[in-house]
Amino acid sequence: MKRPLTELGPRDFEHALLDAARSDSTGPRPDAAWARFSVAAASLDRAASLDPAESSNTESPAGTAGSKPTSQPSLPSKPTGSGGAPTPAAAPAVATKLLALAAVAGLGAAAATLALTTSVGNSPGGEHASNSASASSFESTAASALPDVVPPPAALERPPITGNAASETTPARAHGESLRLPPSTAVNAHLSLADEVRLMDAARQALSSGGAARARTLIAEHRRRFPRGALTTDIAYLEIEALHAQGRTVELRRLGAAFLARYPRDTHASRVRHLLEQ
Taking CB under 8 A as the criterion, which residues in 90-109 touch other proteins?
A: 90
Q: Which is nearer to other proteins, 41 or 218 (CB)?
A: 41
Of 37, 27, 24, the closest CA to residue 79 belongs to 37
Closest separation between CB of residue 68 and other proteins, Å? 21
Is residue 148 within the footprint of other proteins (CB under 8 A)? Answer: yes
Q: Which of the stretches 63-71, 111-119, 151-159, 206-214 binds other proteins when contact is defined by CB under 8 A?
A: 151-159
Q: Is 110 near other proteins (CB under 8 A)? A: no
Asked if 269 is part of the footprint of other proteins (rule: CB under 8 A), the reply reads no
Nearer to other proteins, 118 or 252 (CB): 252
Q: Interface residues for other proteins in 58-97 (CB under 8 A)?
A: 85-86, 90
Question: CB 108: neighbour CB atoms within 10 A?
Answer: 19
Among residues 155, 175, 247, 277, the one that binds other proteins under rule CB under 8 A: 155
* Least spacing, CB of residue 264 vs other proteins, in Å: 8
4, 125, 126, 247: residue in contact with other proteins (rule CB under 8 A): 4
User: Residue 172 CB: number of other CB atoms within 10 A?
Assistant: 19
Pick the closer one to other proteins by CB: 65 or 166. 166
Told to check if 172 binds other proteins by CB under 8 A, we report yes
Which CB sits closer to other proteins, 206 or 238?
238
Q: At what angle do helices 129-136 and 212-225 cross, to 10 degrees?
A: 70
Please state the closest distance from residue 162 (CB atom) to other proteins, in A. Answer: 8
Candidates 52-60, 64-72, 136-144, 254-262; binding stretch for other proteins (CB under 8 A): 254-262
Contact pattern from residue 173 through residue 192 relative to other proteins, giving x for each residue in contact according to CB under 8 A and a dash for the rest: x--------x---x--xx--
Is 250 near other proteins (CB under 8 A)? no
DSSP the chain: -PPPGGGS-HHHHHHHHHHHHHT---S--HHHHHHHHHHHHHHHHHHHHT-HHHHTT---TTS-TTHHHHHHHHHHHTT--STT--HHHHHHHHHHHHHHHHHHHTHHHHHHHHHHHHHHHH--TT--HHHHHHHH-HHHHHHHHTTTSPPPTT--SS---SSTHHHH------TTSPP-PPPHHHHHHHHHHHHHHHHHHHHHHHHHTT-HHHHHHHHHHHHHH-TT-TTHHHHHHHHHHHHHHHT-HHHHHHHHHHHHHH-TTSTTHHHHHHHHH-
Amino acid making up residue 123: S
Q: How many of the chain's residues bind other proteins (CB under 8 A)?
A: 79
Please pick, from the candidates 128, 262, 273, 274, the single residue that binds other proteins as defined by CB under 8 A.
262
CA dist 171 and 163 (Å) reads: 17
By CB under 8 A, the residues from 12 to 31 that bind other proteins are: 13-14, 16-28, 30-31
Stretch of residues binding other proteins (CB under 8 A), selected from 57-65, 124-132, 136-144, 229-237 = 229-237
- Closest to other proteins by CB, 135 or 165: 165
- CB-based contact 173:97 (threshold 8 Å): yes
